[in-house]
Every structure is written in structure tokens, then in C-alpha cells.
Amino acid sequence: MTNPAEPVDPFLPSPLHDLMFGHIHSAALRAVVVHRIPDHLSEGPRTAEDLASRTGTDAGALRRVLRLLASRGLFLEDDRGAFRLEEDGQPLRTDVPGSQHAGVVMITDPMFARSAPRLQDTLHTGQPSFDLVYGMPFFEHLQKSPEDRATFDSGMAAFSGAEDELVAQSYAFPADALVIDVGGGRGGLLGAVLSQEPSLAGVLFDQSATVAEHVLDRPGLTGRWRTEGGDFFTAVPSGGDFYLLKHILHDWNDEDGLRILGSIRRAADTGARLLVVDSVLPGNSAPHPALELDIVMLMALKGRERTAAEFESLLDRAGFRLQRILPTPGLPAIIEAVAV
């Protein structure tokens, strides 16, 4: 065990080093993604000079950035100085299934990058640092900035798209049920659910501008769905056998979460099922992939990731009884509750 009194070189590889220089790695990642360098490596290795001529970038600067990312396993530099895209870097391409290009662009966007250094103020005030930087809450800013809203919607679609099929395949919906996806975005999850059982019908509910860009016009779904615009804090469509709530509650604190759940409970008949699709944190400090998301919620919104006990308490207060928590092959779990 290292004696704390002994000097430690912070530039040598260590957990401290990785944390201290984390913003450098994310900036490098954003730089190559914005310039679509991974797309130009889809057919094989290219030198920095070749890539620079194709992308209008500086060859010397590009090589240095790629060299850093190669040290993290996303690229590999060969003996002749050409870079190839490694397996872990393939999702950075825009032309592959499950592309994370838009997700990387969103997470490294100034909306979050400018908020992160002010996390120190959040520790003092308990309020989102985003509000301090932009002078308004996150979703209010998105309403006033179409460009940032497009970045956010595309990024969330990239993240959610990879999960939708996994979630849909992890729950057995009964025949002839009506599934209402509350805050369902463009309908990726609802489409995946409807594809699992041909007798299901669905309603995609979200803000009018969002559902207008739905992705439900696809083979096998014709005539089985409709869209409805509205505000889930006020009211949601009634009569559903199942209500879906994917990555919604984690955006909000308990007070606002209860308002959303209250709208659903008023619309749902007793016995209707609510499926909350969110990550479930362990009840301790064990490593978990949603811990980073929890800090994003802390600095950008008033939301949080929750433990199983916290979900159970929140659902109980809203008139739902927790039935079970089903794991999926992805990050989120399916928290099943019944209206009582």
C-alpha cells in the first residue's frame, strides 16, 4: 500500500489521472466525431494527412488527437502512421446500426460541457448548474433554442434506439392490450413493443412538436397506433392497459415525478399496469453505469437516478404498488407497478 506521505506523480496512469484529464478525452472525442473522422475510416486505415485532406482539418493536430484516442482503444495507429477504427470505435460512425454519433455530440455539447465546471456551485446551492450558466431551466432552454433541441432529441434517439428492442423483448405483453407511451418521444419504444405482438394497439403521447416527428410509419404497424400531443404534468390519455414511462422519471425530482405519476393514475383504471423503464441503482456505492447519468441529472436538471426502495416509495405515494423489477440486457430495468 502506498504511503500517503510519499510523492505521487499525477501524470502517471492512475484513477486520479483519468478523472483529472477526463474533460480532455471527451473534448478529443467530440472533435473527431464532429468532423466525422470515423466515417472516413469505414473502408480501412488512413493517415492523418489523408484524413485531413478529406475533412478540412489540420493533419498535425488531427494526428495528435487520434493518438490520444488510440491510447483509449478507439483507434489503432499502424507502423506506417495510418489510423484504423477499432471495434470499440465503430459506434462513432454515422452509417452503422446503433450509431452513437449523435449521442456523443449531445453529451459533449456545450449545454453539458459548460455546466460541468459549475458543479461546484451545485454542491453549494443544490440547484442545477445548467440554470446558473444559461439563466433558465434545461427544458425551458430547449424550447427557446431549436438547434439545441434538435441536438438533444437526436442524441436521446441514439441512446434510446439501442435500448428499445432490448426493453420490448424483455416484457411479455398480453394480446389485445392498449399500450400508452407517456413522454414517448418519436415512438421508438412503442414501435418496438407493437412489433412484438401483432394484436397490440398503442398511443404515442408527448409534446405536439415531438410526436409530429414520429417514426411509427413502418411495416406491420399500420392502423395500430395514434399520436396525441399534450403535457404529462396536466393529463395523459385514459383507458390504457399498460402505461410506459421510459427515461422520464429520472429527469425530475420526487415532487415533479409525483405530478407525472398522478396524471397517469388519474387516467388509468384500477389494475392497469405501469412500466417504468429506468436504471435502478444499487443501495450502496458499488460501481454502476448509471452513476454518471446521476451526475448529469444533478447538474442539468432536478432529476436523479433511483434505487429500488426509492422507486417503491415514489410509486406507492402516487397510487401504484410495485410488483417486480425485471432486468434487461441493457442499462435500464423494467419496474412494473399496478394501479391500486
Number of C-beta neighbours around residue 69 at 10 A: 20
User: Is-catalytic flag, 250?
Assistant: yes
Q: How many helices (H) and strands (E) does the chain have?
A: 15, 12
List the 75-77 sheet strands across, edge first.
46-47, 82-85, 75-77
Q: H/E element holding 280?
A: strand 280-281
Distance CA 280, CA 306 (A): 6
Say whether 154 sits in a helix, a strand or coil: helix
Which amino acid appears at position 142 of this protein?
L
Q: Who contacts 187 (Cβ-Cβ below 8 Å, separation ≥6)?
A: 181, 204, 211, 214, 215, 216, 225, 227
- Residue 83's DSSP bridge partners are 46, 77
Say whether 55 sits in a helix, a strand or coil: helix
Q: Note whether 37 and 77 are within 8 A (CB).
A: no
Q: Active-site residue among 17, 23, 250, 288?
A: 250
Say whether 6 sits in a helix, a strand or coil: coil
Q: Note whether 105 and 92 are within 8 A (CB).
A: no
Q: How many residues does the chain have?
A: 340
Residues labelled as active-site residues: 250
